[in-house]
């Protein structure tokens, strides 16, 4: 009798929904790729380095929340074409804030089913758009983490990263072939310490190339929805983004 792999990062909880809306002026645009609306942010015109693309797998708030747009813009400012698909098709979780009788798990299960279907063809379409000569990396936040782990089991990216993940089991870590950065909060009910350490043990056992960063004093969601008015939270959010893009640069063509 087969046994299911141990769950290491659980389902969506209250911590995945809370957060602070950021402020700024996004510079990207919306394109339709493989039938999916996608936020696209390009490197500055002065950039003359190798072609690099980061696949952005959003948390439950989607790639068009201003927080996500600004994060993708930052990745673009470092020389990457940042592309984030809206696998919620215009129905991110914030649309249901305060909605009477709304069932979060019904929404989550529907969203996962749709995302599981559209992500593979979207990835292939992005690769066709930017070409085989580009270096591709992938980052996932919360809901988006398993899509990063799936693609790390292929040769379609050079590296991946996630922050405060959901929906991961032991096999996600056991099967990766590409470098992984884990950007984690000290307190995370979705990816608790014991389960994170089990993930680290698996990565060590398979001799993966990986890096784990743990930020004290922050909670699940810090990398996308952390309060910039709190110095430690702002630093953790910014350092997570910087570390992720430096990780991708490390494994890309120079």
Which residues are tagged catalytic?
142, 188, 220
Q: What are phi and psi of 98, to 5 degrees?
A: 80, 5
User: Cα–Cα distance between 38 and 53 in angstroms, integer?
Assistant: 14
Residues in a beta bridge with 53: 81, 136
Instruction: Please tell me the distance from the alpha carbon of residue 102 to that of residue 83, in angstroms, as a whole number.
Output: 30
With CA atoms as reference, report the closest residue to 167 among 6, 11, 61. Answer: 11
145 Cβ neighbours under 8 A, 6+ residues apart? 9, 57, 162, 165, 166, 167, 168
- For residue 140 the two structure tokens come to 């996932």
Q: Where does residue 78 rank: exposed (0-12), middle (13-18), buried (19+ CB within 10 A)?
A: buried
Nearest to 58, CA basis, from 113, 121, 140: 140
Q: How many residues does the structure list for the chain?
A: 254
R_g of the chain, CA atoms, integer Å: 17
């Amino acid at each position: 009798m087969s046994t299911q792999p141990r769950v290491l990062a659980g389902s969506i909880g209250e911590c995945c929904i809370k957060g602070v809306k950021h402020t700024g002026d996004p510079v990207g645009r919306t394109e339709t790729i493989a039938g999916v609306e996608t936020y696209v942010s390009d490197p500055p015109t002065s950039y003359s380095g190798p072609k690099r693309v980061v696949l952005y797998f959003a948390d439950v708030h989607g790639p068009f929340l201003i927080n996500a747009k600004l994060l993708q813009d930052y990745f673009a400012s470092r020389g990457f074409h940042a592309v984030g698909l809206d696998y919620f098709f215009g129905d991110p979780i914030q649309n249901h804030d305060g909605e009477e009788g709304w069932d979060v798990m019904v929404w989550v299960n529907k969203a996962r089913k749709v995302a599981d279907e559209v992500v593979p063809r979207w990835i292939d379409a992005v690769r066709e758009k930017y070409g085989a000569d580009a270096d591709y990396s992938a980052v996932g936040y919360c809901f988006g983490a398993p899509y990063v782990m799936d693609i790390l089991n292929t040769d379609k990216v050079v590296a991946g990263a996630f922050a405060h993940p959901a929906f991961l089991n032991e096999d996600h870590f056991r099967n990766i072939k590409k470098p992984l950065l884990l950007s984690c909060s000290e307190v995370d009910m979705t990816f608790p310490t014991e389960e994170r350490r089990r993930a680290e043990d698996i990565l060590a056992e398979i001799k993966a190339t990986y890096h784990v960063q743990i930020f004290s004093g922050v909670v699940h969601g810090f990398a996308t929805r952390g309060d910039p008015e709190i110095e430690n939270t702002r630093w953790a959010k910014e350092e997570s983004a910087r570390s992720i893009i430096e990780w991708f640069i490390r494994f890309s063509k120079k």
